[in-house]
Amino acid sequence: MGHDPVPVPPVDPRALLDALPDPVVVVGPDATVRWASASARALFGWTDAELMGRTADHLIHPEDMVTALSSLASVQAKEVGSLIELRIRSRDGTYRRVEVRGSGATDRAGVGGIVMSMRDLGDRHLWQVDRGDADRFRAIIDASPTAVMVLDPGGLLLGASRAFTRLLGRPLDSSLGRPLTDMADTDSALILAAAIDGVVADGERRTLEARLSRADGTTLAVSLTLVDLVRDPAVGGIVVSATDITELDEARTELEHRATHDALTALPGRALLLDRLGHALALARRRSGRVAVAFGDVDSFKVINDHHGHAAGDEVLVEIARRLVALSRGSDTVARLGGDEFCLVVEDADDRVADLLRSRITEAMRRPIRLRSGADLRVGLSLGVVVVGGTVAVDEALARADVEMYEVKRARRGGPTHA
CB 167 within 8 A of CB 242: yes
In three-state form (DSSP H/G/I as H, E/B as E, the rest C), the secondary structure along 266-291 is: CCECHHHHHHHHHHHHHHHHHHCCEE
Q: Which of 130, 340, 350, 376 is catalytic?
A: 340
Q: Would you give the DSSP letter of residue 64?
A: G
The crossing angle, in degrees rounded to 10, of helices 310-327 and 301-308 is 130
Active-site residue flag, 340: yes
Q: Which long-range contacts (CB under 8 A, 24 or more apart) does 241-247 make?
A: 241/146, 241/147, 241/148, 241/149, 242/146, 242/147, 242/148, 242/149, 242/163, 242/164, 242/167, 242/212, 243/145, 243/146, 243/147, 244/145, 244/167, 244/220, 245/209, 245/221, 246/220, 246/221
d(CA 264, CA 266): 6
d(CA 369, CA 314): 12
For residues 390, 394, 395, 400, the Cα torsion angle rounded to the nearest 10 degrees is 50
CB 269 within 8 A of CB 334: no
Element (H, E) at 115: strand 113-120
d(CA 278, CA 299): 28
> 219 forms bridges with which residues in the sheet?
213
Catalytic residues: 340
